[in-house]
């Protein structure tokens, strides 16, 4: 059983007010997901042809703010940063969200609630523990999708991936028959 193979996971969490730009936890979880056949959509290393590097835009936005050139921010980066990141939400099969309650993750919440309206599984890891998660999140999703550590989240994802019997989907998880889709497409198109 390998239910996660072929899925796309978007990694959401604070970036612009974080010392490492939100890169650290993303670099740690990515190989774990990839070994399970998951395609990782990482906003700190956007897999979009022609996309600018995230930190360059963030640094330039800070400069524009310092100079009071506010009109330029959205014109230069609204589609590039926000637009690409919301596209990742659209493309994702599931999301992993990292919340540090000592940070202010403005874009993270927009992405989280966009994915929630689409009924996507959002694996939410709260640095300070599950009890520290905002009350609103407990009202929006099943608490079984909120975790106090990445180890707990990985254990849950491994259960989703390999448990041989029927699993609780929370009306969120959808598992496509990739073998069938590839077989049918290759029959008409040929090998990729």
The tokens describing 53, both together, are 């590097």
pLDDT given at position 192: 63
- Per-residue pLDDT at 181: 85
Res 3: pLDDT: 95
Residue 23 is predicted with a pLDDT of 94
Q: How far apart are CA 32 and CA 170, in angstroms?
A: 24
Measured in whole angstroms, the distance separating CA 34 from the mean position of its chain's CA atoms is 14
The full set of domains in the chain, from first to last, is 8-189 (3.40.50)
> Running along the chain, 192 residues long, what does each successive block of 10 average in pLDDT?
93 91 95 97 86 74 90 82 91 97 91 97 98 96 97 98 93 89 85 66
Which tokens hold the place of 38?
Answer: 């998951």
- pTM, whole model, 2 decimals? 0.90
């Amino acid at each position: 059983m390998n239910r996660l193979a072929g899925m796309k996971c978007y990694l959401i969490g604070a970036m612009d007010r974080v010392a490492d730009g939100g890169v650290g936890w993303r670099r740690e979880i990515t190989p774990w997901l990839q070994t399970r056949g998951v395609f990782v959509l990482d906003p700190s290393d956007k897999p979009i042809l022609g996309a600018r590097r995230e930190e360059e835009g963030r640094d330039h936005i800070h400069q524009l703010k310092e100079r009071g050139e506010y009109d330029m921010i959205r014109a230069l980066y609204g589609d590039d940063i926000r637009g690409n990141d919301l596209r990742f939400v659209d493309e994702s099969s599931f999301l992993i969200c990292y919340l540090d309650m000592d940070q202010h993750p403005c874009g993270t919440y927009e992405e989280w609630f966009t994915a929630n309206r689409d009924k996507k599984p959002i694996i939410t890891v709260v640095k300070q523990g599950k009890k520290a998660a905002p009350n609103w999140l407990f009202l929006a999703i099943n608490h079984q999708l909120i975790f106090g550590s990445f180890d707990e989240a990985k254990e849950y994802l491994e259960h989703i991936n390999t448990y041989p019997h029927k699993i609780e989907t929370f009306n969120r998880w959808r598992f496509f028959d990739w073998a069938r889709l590839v077989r049918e497409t290759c029959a008409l198109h040929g090998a990729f």
